[in-house]
Chains A and B, each alone.
Chain A
Amino acid sequence: MKKQRALSFKTTTTTAYFFLAPALSAIFIFFFIPVIAAFIISFTDFDIYTLGNFSTLRLIGFDNYVKLFSDDLFWTALGNTFYFVVVAGPLSIAVSLTAALLLNSKLVKFKSLFRLAYFLPVVTTLVAVAIVWRFIYHPNFGILNFFLGLIGINPIDWLGDPDWAMPSIILLAVWKNFGYNMIIFIAGLQNIPEELYEAADIVGANAFQKFKHITLPMLAPTTIFVSIITMIGYFQLFAEPYVMTQGGPLNKTLSIVQYMYQEGFRWWNMGYSASIAFVLFIIIFIGTLIQFKVQKLSK
């Protein structure tokens, strides 16, 4: 009897592995092997000469990493990326939450229409969006400066001014992405039992108290999920500055992924580029750990 159970257990695990095999092998081939290869490459000076003649490859240990930490441009890119994550992350979550609360309210009509409208930027191609936003931001003919002109503010060269370029990118990114988180928040809101609010009504709580003591705590798991996803996504900022500013002016919108892309696929310094990728990986990993810790503490 005992023997048979052990056997059946063994067969179930094998069966499980059997069913998992296609997915696992795909992950192994297309994820683990490239990651390991990139990790090894980051300790070499793999570059365009190496592509042509493999014997020019040199093992250089931690040189790429050492060089990285003395590279001004790397620090600029890192600083810009943190700026983006720290400002755009919370902002985008706040906007998503507000939009979700509004759309979940019983007072709003045409809910599905608004939901669609807010979600539309998420599914629109960034390149198309960027063309439109370039017009919006245009210093002479842009609609943004037109409205600012109406209230007496001088035109701003949004994408050309070193101080305004990043805020412009942030505005675009928040507008483009908030719809996605909004949908997740709406799902979270709909999972909060109605009885809680009814009970609060009986006690006589006002709207703000209900939000603070019911909505927010009940949304905590959703919020932590959304903020981790958003943070990971925003650390990988690439497409927005790539199509809008190419990293300029004065490298004020150069992001870490863009720098990695340039080094790797424009100048073919694969070794150096791989080391940037691993530094980014470690940063995102630490960021995620911190968020988990914060969540545990708040519980």
Chain B
Amino acid sequence: MQRCLIKYITNLLVTFVTITSCSKDSDEIKTIKFWAMGSEAEQVSKILPEFEKKYPSIKVKVQQIPWTAAQEKLITAFASDNTPDICQLGNTWIPQFASLNAIISLDKFIAKSEIVKPVNFFSGIWETNIIDNKVYGIPWYVDTRLMFYRKDVFERAGFKDPPKNWDELYTLCVRIKETQKTKDRFPIFIPTNEWNSFIIFGLQAGAELLKDENTRGNFSSKEFKEAFDYLIRFHKENLTPFGMMQVTNVYQAMAEEYISIYFSGPWNIPEFKKWMTGELADKWATAPMPGYLNEYPGVSLAGGSSLVIFKDSRYKDEVWKLIEFLSEPEIQLKVYKVTNNLPSVIQVWQDTSLSNDIYMKAFYQQLQNVVSAPKIPEWEQIVFSKLQQYAEFAARGVMTTEEALKKLNEDADRILEKRRWLVESKRGMVK
């Protein structure tokens, strides 16, 4: 009896849903659900009317989701079959959603496209979207980390140009510390709760971060240890504060000369402009990352956001039209002007609003030499929960760098256990 009732109710619901969705299909206008994050959502909705004018049969509904909760929201949406049609994804998240089978490979669209061609984009950035030789996302905007610094502090320490390699960077910091003669100031800021610097310097030293098809950690390698030692030395010699707890506001800290060098991304530029006013306005600059020995600029991490199409989307062709629209140089330039996000299409950088900007030059240079972090879903767990933890342990002297890296490797192996099993069982099947 009860079972009958449940069946009856479910049937009723199913019919209802089909009726409503049928009626949607028969409508002329197709509505695309677009999830965007943070301020991008607000700004992009101002540009979309242009798209809707071009394609009267498509309507785009933008939903804003906060960056901090974005990943949880997306995965929950996936688990409950409520994904949007198109979404902006941070590059490091693409492996997760690709392994979830939540997003589709875009190769067949790219092959036919006039607008989206791999050569139009920065190659290091494009590469982050490729998993197992398939392209899953189209770069929407790019970012990478480089050096923000105080020009006047450098000059006082006798340095006209930003450091070009590791030795110069270290000597410069020691010199700045000498000229400052106070305990309350630090030449550089390498927070242990930002894994990026540790990975960037590791990559510069030539470290292979993971091994055996990304199924084991390789953090005890000679190269990675050298980079780790190099950065921890700044902590040991009191050249940098430990982390975010000591520097609640980097912009203010930079303005007060509490710190003079900080490796970070383009999202800081508007903030620095806001905080560095009056006399300080021309006292700060950006420069590419120093290199390991002679390489300049040194390599940095490829970041930014890509546009992806979800598997459950019923309007994949229409969504692709939207992606093409957002990849057009004029639109990219418009988005740059309203959001300050760096355009992913190289051609746009020739525009005077970018090529004449003194802070942008370094970014353009840096973007020529960026690589992606290992593209596996576990990567974020390894760096956020483990690398940052052991960097803090080493920086505070609770562990030696050898111990810290050994533990980091063990933890990485533990996290990658499932991946090892999957890769091995796949290999077994091939045999």
Contact = CB atoms under 8 A, between A and B. Distances in A.
Contacts of B248: 134, 138
A251 B389 contact: yes
Contact of A268 (B75, B101, B242): B75
Interface string B232-250: 0000000000110110100
A47 B243 contact: no
B385 interface: yes
B281 interface: no
A249 B245 contact: yes
Contact of B99 (A48, A159, A265, A267): A48
Interface residues of A, number: 27
A52 B422 contact: no
Contact of B242 (A47, A58, A160): A160
A48 B377 contact: yes
Nearest to B193: A248
A102 B248 CA distance: 39
A56 interface: yes
B257 to A, nearest CB: 14
Interface in B167-205: 193
A186 B378 CA distance: 52
Interface string B401-431: 0000000000000100011011000000000
A45 interface: yes
Contacts of A251: 389
A265 B385 CA distance: 13
B99 A52 contact: yes
B336 to A, nearest CB: 32
A114 B99 CA distance: 57
Contacts of B161: none
Given A45-B418, A51-B79, A250-B398, A157 B102 contact: no
A169 to B, nearest CB: 13
A262 interface: yes
Given A249-B392, A250-B396, A267-B385, A51 B242 contact: no
A188 interface: no
Contacts of B100: 48, 51-52
B376 to A, nearest CB: 10
Interface in A209-263: 245, 248-251, 262
A262 B96 CA distance: 16
9 pairs of A and B residues whose beta carbons are closest in the complex: A160-B245, A52-B100, A267-B381, A52-B101, A48-B377, A160-B246, A52-B99, A159-B245, A265-B72
Interface of B: 72, 75, 78-79, 96, 99-102, 193, 242-243, 245-246, 248, 377-378, 380-381, 384-385, 389, 392-393, 396, 398, 414, 418-419, 421-422
19 contacts: A48-B75, A49-B418, A51-B75, A52-B99, A52-B101, A52-B102, A56-B422, A58-B421, A139-B246, A245-B245, A248-B243, A248-B245, A250-B393, A250-B398, A266-B72, A266-B381, A267-B381, A267-B385, A268-B75
Interface of A: 45, 47-49, 51-53, 56, 58, 67, 134, 138-139, 157, 159-160, 162, 245, 248-251, 262, 265-268
Given A51-B100, A265-B72, 10 more contacts: A48-B99, A49-B422, A52-B100, A249-B243, A249-B392, A249-B396, A250-B396, A251-B389, A267-B381, A267-B385
